[in-house]
A = this chain, B = another copy of it.
Amino acid sequence: MTPLLKRYLERISRGVDRVLDRLLEAKTGEPRRIREAMRYSVFAGGKRLRPTLVAAGAECCGGRSRDVLPTGAALEMIHTYSLIHDDLPAMDDDALRRGQPTNHKVFGEALAILAGDGLLTYAFEIAAANARARALDGRSAAELIRILAAGAGTAGMVGGQVADLDAENWRGRPGPAARRLLESIHLRKTAALITASLEAGAVLAGGSGPERRRLRAYGRAVGLAFQVADDILDVVGDKVKLGKKGSDARNRKLTYVSLYGLERARREAADLAAAAHRQLRPFGTRARVLHDLADYVITRDR
């Protein structure tokens, strides 16, 4: 990770954590336990990648990161809700995440489901408040909400979850159909919310249509690269650093490595990073953080 990217991630993390802390203070008329359950997972040690993308997307379009931190917090809430629901016994049935007990292990299944529901709902309230604070016009305010919902919904993240469940214990053969299936899962499961983060920042900063299109294309490439790198790390990564066991092969999961082998998967990741860089050219030095991020995504060791 470059020093520039490291400093930027730390700065946005601190800023968004302050916003999250304030937003997740107890509200009147709200049961205490649900707030505790929401806070538990929100402050369980995420990298705040999505808030960073909101900030960087805004800066590419001439905006300021501090003006979009609430929407960064909203995207982090959506990401966190998806982790809580994914970990449930009916889904991936995970007892640990980042070395900590998962939400339902601490608060019980019922409260974990409701904490996820609460975070997803609150995210839209926060984003709408951010639109209002930035004095967005009606069209842009509606567009901001549409971007979040489309990225998180059935054609985005939720759809990716469903497709991922379908692809478990995959028994097909390598080939164009398998490649399309794998790409469609990751485009929705990971890239959709990454793209929504970048575009939300752009809309809040008054970005143009072409600027938003470029950030979408960048997000798509970086999101896929992130998943290819994940598949590679699952095979070659340091289990201690990753905080998880390489379980894809055991589960006969459809991954880039199971499909192509290590060497071609690495080439694929590099190609995607190069495509991401190309999209950023017109932004000049404003896009320095996003350039560094595209490289980091495929060279990280955890």
Chain A positions near chain B (C-beta within 8 angstroms): 27-31, 33-35, 38, 81, 85, 88, 90-91, 108-111, 113-114, 116-118, 120-122, 124-125, 127-129, 131-132, 135-143, 145-146, 148-150, 152-155, 158-159, 161-163, 165-166, 184, 187-188
Contacts and interface: CB of A to CB of B under 8 A. Distances in A.
The 5 closest A-B pairs by CB, nearest first: A90-B109, A125-B149, A128-B145, A132-B142, A121-B153
State how many copies of this chain the complex holds: 2
A33 B135 CA distance: 40
A154 B88 contact: no
A122 B153 CA distance: 6
A152 to B, nearest CB: 5
A148 B161 CA distance: 25
Contacts of A143: 128, 132
B138 A110 contact: no
Contact of A158 (B34, B90, B128, B188): B34
Contact of A152 (B30, B108, B121, B135): B121
A103 B145 CA distance: 28
A290 to B, nearest CB: 25
B122 A29 contact: no
